[in-house]
Amino acid sequence: MDDKVNYLLRLGDNALILSQQLSQWCGKGPALEEDMALTNVSLDLLGQTRLWYEYAGELEGAGRDEDKIAFHRDAHEFKNCLLLEQPNGNYADTMTRQFFFDTWHYFLVRGLCGAADQRIADIAEKSLKEVTYHLRRSGDLIVRLGDGSAVSHAKTQAAVDDLWMYSGEVFAYDAVDQAMVDAGIAPPADELRAHWLEHVGEIFAEATLAMPAPDAWMQKGGKQGVHSEHLGYILAEMQFLQRAYPGAEW
Amino acid sequence: MSKEWPLWEVFIRSQHGLAHKHVGSLHASDAEMAVNNARDVYTRRNEGVSIWVVRAADIVASSPADKGALFEPSNSKVYRHPTFFPMPEEVKNL
């Protein structure tokens, strides 16, 4: 598979899987306003997914549109990072997952705005407004939860410690990522990682949370289609109708 | 939890609007959260809007009982209504 197509699918898969996860909160948020914010973020990400998939499908030239890409692939063909398929858990788990992702996503998309590929730059430009807001909100909530009550602090610290080993996969560049760096599309990993650690560090300090060791061992595999046990269930639910009635139009 | 969250009134000036309009209210623990969430609840992220949030407790409203005293006397005095002045075309939004 072409490196660029692969890379676009990774971007789309990240957004789609997280969007699907967030949509599960619909009607279950801790407050009406949070409920709306979570589902709005989910919608933002779904919109971004469609743009990445559409471009990937065009470049691939095999006649796959966004729906084919989303609903007609199985777990081993999905390239999202493992962090995003981790369960929603409690609100601290969801917001920590979101904050780790948003921080990376913001710096990545900001970098992609200068991509040597105009279409990628345009999609990034459009996404950046949404992603900037996502980051502002998740950082704000991490501070509130971490620096809130003793209970919320403990829950958030536990979420941070649990999810930390999934936070580094995005910086482990393989041949596909490297090809995108060489093509002047993707920002280099070390640059993104430096921004990421700095921002997470600042927010954690304000949230009175202990930051785990940046060089701790990190779980990998999602980008290559080697997933945790969670993804299969997410896809089974998401793709049910298309599996039951392949090619149905809606 | 939401029992502890105060009520905020939200005023939005839309992209081409000249003044902030009251659009509704929401619960939030402080002003920053109120502004953040107003974006999702009331603006759907239109470009170029300005959002004001005000703690509902800080708003003083006129009482319905005062309606007559406050608003009626002017109705019978048309000379108080500035509707007789021809305005030049060039003056907008007055």
Whole-model pTM: value is: 0.90
The verdict on a CB contact (< 8 Å) between A133 and B45 is yes
pLDDT at B89: 78
pLDDT digits (tens, 9 = 90+) for A30-55: 998 999 999 999 999 999 999 999 99
Q: HEC string of chain A?
A: CCHHHHHHHHHHHHHHHHHHHHHCCCCCCCCHHHHHHHHHHHHHHHHHHHHHHHHHHHHHCCCCCHHHHHHCCCHHHCCCCHHHHCCCCCHHHHHHHHHHHHHHHHHHHHHHCCCCCHHHHHHHHHHHHHHHHHHHHHHHHHHHHHCCCHHHHHHHHHHHHHHHHHCCHHHCCCHHHHHHHHCCCCCCHHHHHHHHHHHHHHHHHHCCCCCCCCCCCCCCCHHHCCCCCHHHHHHHHHHHHHHHCCCCCC
- When the pLDDT of each residue in chain B is averaged and rounded to a whole number, the result is 82
Structural domains of chain B in order of their starting residue, each with its CATH number: 5-60 (3.10.20.520)
Task: Determine the pLDDT at residue A49.
Answer: 98
Q: How far is A233 from chain B (nearest CA, A)?
A: 29
Q: What is the pLDDT of residue B40?
A: 82
> Measured between CB atoms, which of A31, A37, A129 is closest to B1?
A31
Q: What percent of chain B has pLDDT over 90?
A: 36
Q: How confident is the model at residue B33 (pLDDT cuts 50, 70, 90)?
A: very high
Compare A79 and B89 and report the one with higher pLDDT. Answer: A79
Query: What residue spans define the domains of chain A?
Result: 3-244
**Mean pLDDT for the stretch of residues A9-24:** 98
For residue B79, is pLDDT > 60? yes
CB contact (8 A) between residue B5 and residue A31: yes
Question: What's residue B93's pLDDT?
Answer: 65
User: From the list B5, B26, B36, which residue is nearest A140 (CB)?
Assistant: B36
The two structure tokens encoding residue A56: 């990937």
Q: Residue A210 pLDDT more than 70?
A: yes
Residues of B in contact with A136 (CB under 8 A): 36
Phi-psi region of A85 (alpha: psi -120 to 50; beta: other; left: phi over 0): alpha
Q: Identify the residue among A25, A26, A33, A48 best suited for mutation to test binding to B, counting B beta carbons within 10 A and taking the highest.
A: A33
Predicted pLDDT of residue B73? 64
Give the percent of chain A with pLDDT over 90.
97
pLDDT of res. B1 = 46
Give the pLDDT confidence score for residue B83 in this predicted structure. 74
Nearest residue, CB atoms, B32 vs list A40, A130, A140: A140
The per-residue pLDDT for B47 is 64
Residue A199's pLDDT band (boundaries 50, 70, 90)? very high
- Whether B9 has a pLDDT exceeding 80, the answer reads yes
Which comes out higher in pLDDT, residue A172 or B45?
A172
In this predicted structure, which of A102-111, A218-227, B43-52 has the lowest mean pLDDT?
B43-52
Cβ distance of B45 and A130 shorter than 8 Å: yes
pLDDT band for position B39 (cuts 50, 70, 90): confident
**pLDDT for residue A78 is more than 70:** yes
pLDDT, chain A, mean: 97
Predicted confidence (pLDDT) per residue in A218-247, tens digit: 999 999 999 999 999 999 999 999 999 998
**Which chain B residues are Cβ-neighbours of A128 within 8 angstroms?**
none
Map tokens 């007055």 to a residue. Answer: B94
Q: Please report the pLDDT score of residue A168 as a whole number.
A: 97
- pLDDT confidence of residue A21: 98
Return the residue of A nearest to B37 by Cα. A33
**Is A23's pLDDT higher than 80?**
yes
Give first-to-last CA distance, chain B, whole Å. 46
- Asked if residue A142 lies in contact with residue A207, where contact means CB atoms within 8 angstroms, the answer is yes
Confidence of residue A133 (pLDDT cuts 50, 70, 90): very high
pLDDT tier, B2 (very low <50, low <70, confident <90, very high otherwise) = very low
The correct CATH number of A3-244 out of 3.40.50.300, 3.40.50.360, 1.20.1260.10, 2.40.10.10 is: 1.20.1260.10
